[in-house]
Amino acid sequence: MREPFDIKSTVAELKNFTFFSNLEDKAILELCTGSSVIVSKHKGRLYHFGDKADAFGIVLSGAYKLSRPTPNGEDSVLYFSTPGDVIAAFIMNRPTPAYPVSATAMGTSRFLQIPRQTYLDYWSANPNLLLEIQKSLSSRMIQLQTQKSLSSTAIPQRVAHLLMELSGKNASRNLAVREVPIPLTRQEISDSLDVAVESVIRIMSHWSKAGIISSTDSFIRITDLKKLTEIANDDT
Amino acid sequence: MREPFDIKSTVAELKNFTFFSNLEDKAILELCTGSSVIVSKHKGRLYHFGDKADAFGIVLSGAYKLSRPTPNGEDSVLYFSTPGDVIAAFIMNRPTPAYPVSATAMGTSRFLQIPRQTYLDYWSANPNLLLEIQKSLSSRMIQLQTQKSLSSTAIPQRVAHLLMELSGKNASRNLAVREVPIPLTRQEISDSLDVAVESVIRIMSHWSKAGIISSTDSFIRITDLKKLTEIANDDT
DNA sequence: CGCTCGGTTGATGCACATCAAAGGCTGTGG
DNA sequence: CCACAGCCTTTGATGTGCATCAACCGAGCG
């Protein structure tokens, strides 16, 4: 669960992320005061919706889904966070913060957990860092808004849109074939779009038969990008 | 459309908002370099979705709705901004920002427009200001997330929830009667919840007859707060 | 005085949720 | 190593909440 904090390798790892690429080793170390690396198993929970938030952190590898319980007892997935994403940083400067979402590992994942106090001491006085956080926060916000504006369109469009979005994250190039870099179940897709699992299954198995996507091992590959784009933009 | 920039009265007005309450007059003036006060008529557009964003600003009085066009040609309202709200600040530090939403006045409203350059010069180096922006951004995000997690519940609940939320903004106290401080049409409510106008009308006229709300002049008053809360939390 | 805008009401149909039932796969504990 | 439990996927049958369409009214306004 908790990996020994190997300073050298962690700093090297962090430098891959835009967040830290411009910083010196010394500065990075300061920003990591009191931190530890958490290794999550599949479905391992980092924290719960509503819990007292005394730490934030950065996804190092794997992925975590951020979700909230709905009144029906279901879960609504709000965001899929991938390596380099900063989680919960934006609530650290509240008086007594509570996590606004739950975070659950999707497959084995690693997370650099940083104490809230370190945020207050070292992060919150650094404009560049704050601007970086603002940047990631605002892109997440815009994504949420985009999804909302699609919420009254047909489900196939929304599923297509989500797959495009997720596969675009690591958008290698305009290849005809893309892959979603996260192990996604249909349940998680349906939780993200707030629709029934069966609807998602029907749509996607149809696409599988039509050769538009293929889902080997729990990873989804888009084999006919053109067609999927068409579906995503279809305003019939 | 454009009011003369009366330094003295504007600074006084700004000091009412938490954003500036701790700042000295001189600092406020610097943060307003190149600014002007814009007076919008009902339905006047401050800016469009997709336009090049060369300014941001603060709502001084009235209200503006932030919306995005949907694929069906409808509008999806994402936020109702009230006096003190900062608009579009969080995209100012992007290379060539475009407005992620349109802003439209609801009733006569006033807006302090500040050039992007002023943000880059004076705002982005000030951690306290950045934290304030982050705070408003994050509360808006949490509101969006809450709405999303309600998106699969019945429409009456969602309407009730929205009215509670909006009337709570100026939450005077636990009075039995509250009022939504913005002139809202049913159309705007339906645009905000992404449902059909007729549905909203049916629900609300039912509530009017039941004495739960009353809509004199274009303002909505909640006359039976207890009952409405009940409806909002009803998980039948 | 026509015109646009907000509100209202009823009839109709469809896209989806819901319910039900079953098979494959994985991990876990006896 | 086997058995069981839980999760993911699949498919079909059934129901319904809500969008859609259509028509009408009153009020403000140029």
B68–A152 C-beta distance less than 8 A: no
Each residue's pLDDT, cut to its tens digit, for chain B (236 residues) gives 566 567 778 899 999 998 888 899 999 999 999 999 999 999 999 999 999 999 999 999 999 999 999 998 899 999 999 999 999 999 999 999 999 999 999 999 999 999 999 999 999 999 999 999 999 999 999 999 999 999 999 999 999 999 999 998 655 566 668 899 999 999 999 999 999 999 999 999 999 999 999 988 779 999 999 999 999 987 66
Residue A126 tokens read as: 């650094």
A131–B127 C-beta distance less than 8 A: no
Mean pLDDT score, A186-195: 97
Residue of A193, A224, A236 lying closest to A67 (CA atoms): A193
- The whole-number Å distance from B198's CA to C12's C1' is 15
Find out whether A158 and B86 touch, Cβ atoms under 8 Å. Answer: no
Measured between alpha carbons, how far is residue A118 from residues A10, A57, A87, A159, B132 in Å? 17, 11, 15, 39, 19
Q: A145 CA to chain B: closest CA distance, Å?
A: 7
A233 touches chain B (CB under 8 A): yes
B131 touches chain A (CB under 8 A): yes
Query: On chain D, which bases lie within 7 A of the protein's CB atoms?
Result: 7-13, 17-22
**How far is residue A39's CA from residue A29's CA, in Å, rounded to a whole number?**
20
Confidence at residue B48, expressed as pLDDT on a 0 to 100 scale: 95
| Cβ neighbours of residue A123 closer than 8 Å, sequence gap 6 or more | A31, A89, A92, A129, A130
A124–B127 C-beta distance less than 8 A: yes
pLDDT digits (tens, 9 = 90+) for A97-134: 999 999 999 999 999 999 999 999 999 999 999 999 99
The answer, yes or no, to whether residue A43 has pLDDT greater than 90, is yes
Looking at chain B, which residue has its C-alpha nearest residue A152? B194
Percent of chain A with pLDDT over 90: 81
Confidence at residue B41, expressed as pLDDT on a 0 to 100 scale: 93
**How far is residue B194's CA from residue B189's CA, in Å, rounded to a whole number?**
8
**How far is residue B191's CA from residue B147's CA, in Å, rounded to a whole number?**
13
Residue of B109, B210, B115, B106 lying closest to B156 (CA atoms): B210
**How far is residue A185's CA from residue A118's CA, in Å, rounded to a whole number?**
36
Write out residues 15-74 of A within 8 Å (CB-CB) of B.
Answer: 68-72, 74
Looking at chain B, which residue has its C-alpha nearest residue A232? B71
pLDDT digits (tens, 9 = 90+) for A139-183: 999 999 999 999 999 999 999 999 999 998 655 556 668 899 999
The answer, yes or no, to whether residue A190 has pLDDT greater than 90, is yes
Q: B104 CA to chain A: closest CA distance, Å?
A: 17
